[in-house]
Structure 1
Amino acid sequence: MSTISCRVGCGACCISPSISTPIPGMPNGKPAGVRCIQLDDKNLCRLFGKPERPAVCGKFAPDSLTCGESSEEAMLRILELEQLTAS
C-alpha cells in the first residue's frame, strides 16, 4: 500500500463512506453512497482546510489500495470497505 495524492475532482471519499459525525448542513452525518452536501459541482470539498471540516475527513489519507487506478475504482473500493466494516 502506498500513499498517493488525491485525484482532483474524484469525490469518492465524500460520497462512498458513511460519516457518523455532524457535517455543516448534515447534522446527523451521512449514510454511505450519499453525496456530502459540502461537495461542490466539481467534486471539491467546500470545507477543505477549514476548522468546521469533520476530523474524520481530515484524517483520510488516500492510498493505492483504497483508491485504485481511477475515481470509479475508488468509489467501488470505498463502498466495499464500508460494507465490510458496517456493524
Structure 2
Amino acid sequence: MNCREGCGACCIAPSISTPLPGMPNGKPAGERCLHLSVDYLCGLFGQPERPAVCGDFKADIEVCGSNREEAINLIGWWEQMTAA
C-alpha cells in the first residue's frame, strides 16, 4: 500500500520519542507534528532532520484503514496497544 497523499495521520496519531527540529522532546500521541503542512504533507520529507521512525513507517491497510479518519483511529489504537 502507498501512503495516501494529504493524509498525515502518521504525523498526528502516534507519539515520536526522538527529537525533531522545534520539538526537542519529540511529539506526544494525538498532537499534530510541527512539520505537518496545512495540506497534510511532511515538511521534513527527504531531509536529514526527519526522524528515522518517520522514514521507516510503511503504510498498511491494517494500520491506515481505507481513509484518513480510519488511519487516525487505527494508528491511535496501535499506539495505545504498544505503549510501554
Superposition TM-score, scaled by structure 2 size: 0.98
Give the counterpart of 1:40 among 37, 42, 50. Answer: 37
SS in 1 for 2:28: coil
Distance 2:46 2:60 in 1: 20
Residue 77 of structure 1, CA deviation: 0.1
Residue 60 of structure 1, CA deviation: 0.2
Aligned 1:1-87 pairs, distance under 5 A? 4-87=1-84
Amino acid at match of 2:3: C
Q: Where do 4+ consecutive residues of structure 1 move more than 3 Å?
A: none
Distance 2:74 2:2 in 1: 17
Residue 42 of structure 1, CA deviation: 0.5
Amino acid at match of 2:5: V
Residue 35 of structure 1, CA deviation: 0.2
Aligned residue pairs total: 84
Amino acid at match of 2:10: C
Compute the RMSD of aligned alpha carbons. Answer: 0.5
Gaps of 5+ in 1: none
Amino acid at match of 1:56: V
Distance 1:67 1:24 in 2: 26
Gaps of 5+ in 2: none
